Chains A and B, each alone.
Chain A
Amino acid sequence: DIHMTQSPSSLSASVGDRVIISCQASQDINNYLHWYQHKPGKAPKLLIYDASRLETGVPSRFRGVGSGTNFSFIITSLQPEDVATYYCQQSFTFGQGTKVEIQ
């Protein structure tokens, strides 16, 4: 089985800051890597699919980069409404999640 390692588990940043979350796969996953935003009481929301493709309607401040085994999710300018937990997903496996807060 492919193992996914997501980091950090939590972070606190200021409004307007650049935020980066990493996800590393134990083997090449052919860019089948997706990023979700999950807020309490709501269903997860797909933000980025296939490593770097922005889902329709998602703000352009959200970006995905990477290939092979190393991937990153970037919020270029953190907004108050971005407070949430973010997950990477590859096939049958989700990353451990990163809780993003405003400091």
Chain B
Amino acid sequence: QMQLVQSGAEVKKPGSSVKVSCKASGGTFSSYAVTWVRQAPGQGLEWMGGIIPILGTVTYGQKFQDRVSITADESTGTAYMELTTLRSADTAVYYCARPLVGARDYYNYGLDVWGQGTTVTVSS
């Protein structure tokens, strides 16, 4: 069974960038998309974007498309999410997740495998 293991907690200054990694183990990485979801304190879940590693195809959520970059390294089975120009409102737990189905319209499918979450704190 595939597992997704994320990098550790980060503390960042406003205006800086953060890059979170998500490493897959125990399953096929490239043929499935990797999606990023975040939850700010007291808020709901937000879909940030996703990538199909084998195609390099990336889709970004409208709210994040100016500041987020999602990449993947097939050789290491790792996906990355970089968020730039950080502000206090970006303080959140960031999750990577894999959809049930390996398809081009992966965003239509439920997310059945999740990373453990990475806490990013933005504070001066």
Contacts and interface: CB of A to CB of B under 8 A. Distances in A.
B27 interface: no
Contacts of A89: 45, 47, 110-111
A69 to B, nearest CB: 16
A49 B116 contact: no
A34 B110 contact: yes
A63 interface: no
Nearest to A1: B62
Interface of B: 37, 39, 44-47, 61-62, 95, 97, 100, 107-112, 114-117
A29 to B, nearest CB: 9
B44 to A, nearest CB: 5
Given A44-B45, A94-B37, 19 more contacts: A32-B109, A36-B111, A43-B95, A43-B97, A43-B116, A43-B117, A44-B111, A44-B114, A46-B110, A46-B112, A49-B100, A87-B45, A91-B47, A92-B61, A92-B62, A92-B107, A96-B44, A97-B44, A97-B45
23 contacts: A1-B62, A32-B108, A34-B111, A38-B39, A38-B45, A43-B116, A43-B117, A44-B37, A44-B45, A44-B97, A45-B114, A46-B110, A46-B111, A48-B110, A49-B110, A55-B110, A55-B112, A89-B47, A91-B47, A93-B47, A94-B44, A95-B44, A97-B44
Range class of the A interface residue count: 20 to 34
Given A43-B116, A46-B110, A87 B44 contact: yes
A101 interface: no
- Those 10 A-B pairs whose CB atoms lie nearest each other, nearest first: A49-B110, A43-B114, A34-B110, A94-B45, A32-B108, A97-B44, A92-B47, A46-B112, A46-B110, A91-B107
B66 to A, nearest CB: 16
